[in-house]
Amino acid sequence: MLRLILALTLVAGAATAQDSTIDFGGFEQNSGAPIEVVSDQLDVDQQDGTAVFTGDVTATQGDLVLTGERVEVFYTTGEDRQIRTLHVTGGVTLVTSEEAAEAEEATYEVVDGTILMTGDVLVTQGDNAIAGERMTIDLETGTGRVEGRVRTIFQTGN
Helix (H) or strand (E) holding 2: helix 2-13
**Sign of the torsion formed by the C-alpha atoms of 32, 142, 66 and 79:** negative
State pTM to two decimals.
Answer: 0.79
**What are 15-73's pLDDT values in tens digits?**
333 444 455 555 555 667 899 999 999 999 888 888 999 999 999 998 889 999 999 99
Helix (H) or strand (E) holding 100: strand 99-109
Domain annotation for the chain: domains and CATH numbers:
2-153 (2.60.450.10)
**What are 121-144's pLDDT values in tens digits?**
999 888 889 999 999 999 888 888
- The number of residues making up the chain comes to 158
